[in-house]
């Protein structure tokens, strides 16, 4: 049986904040696990967080085939979420994704790291806008 790690207070507060937003938002912890996306994000991903649960974000996000506006594949580490997670800095990009429903969508993604203290990285927040 795998022991679940307790969530940092910053992630709990970020989840509460995101759950009250009308803007599609997701949260990933410092180990790269998708730990939440809000109801507004369901429209983009065509799934609920309850259906997905906590999964490795890099694995889950590949099913949407993220690519540039010129249709070039974008590896996880070059997406805004990957930059925020691995380089711990904010990033923004316009991407094309294909939803679970097979519909191609253009989205703008802004991701930024979350720190509990200047040297304590706890995860990232990503915000999506449909273009």
Q: How confident is the model at residue 45 (pLDDT cuts 50, 70, 90)?
A: confident
CATH node for 29-122: 3.30.450
H helices of 4-118, in order, are: 9-19, 39-45, 49-52, 57-61, 80-82
Q: What is the pLDDT of residues 62-95, one digit of tens each?
A: 888 899 999 999 999 999 999 999 999 999 999 9
pLDDT tier at 3 (50, 70, 90 boundaries)?
Answer: low
- 63 in helix, strand or coil? helix
- Which pLDDT score is estimated for 44? 82
Give me the residue spans of the domains in the chain: 29-122
Cα torsion 113, 99, 34, 41 to 10°: value is 70
């Amino acid at each position: 049986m795998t022991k679940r790690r307790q969530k940092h207070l910053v992630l709990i507060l970020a989840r509460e904040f995101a759950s009250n937003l009308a803007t599609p938002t997701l949260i990933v912890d410092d180990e790269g696990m998708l730990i939440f996306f809000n109801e507004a994000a369901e429209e983009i991903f065509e799934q609920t967080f309850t259906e997905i649960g906590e999964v490795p974000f890099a694995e889950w996000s590949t099913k949407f085939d993220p690519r540039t506006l010129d249709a070039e594949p974008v590896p996880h580490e070059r997406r805004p979420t990957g930059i925020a997670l691995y380089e711990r800095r904010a990033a923004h990009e316009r991407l094309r994704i294909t939803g679970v429903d097979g519909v191609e969508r253009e989205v703008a993604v802004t991701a930024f790291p979350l720190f509990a203290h200047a040297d304590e990285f706890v995860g990232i927040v990503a915000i999506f806008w449909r273009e």
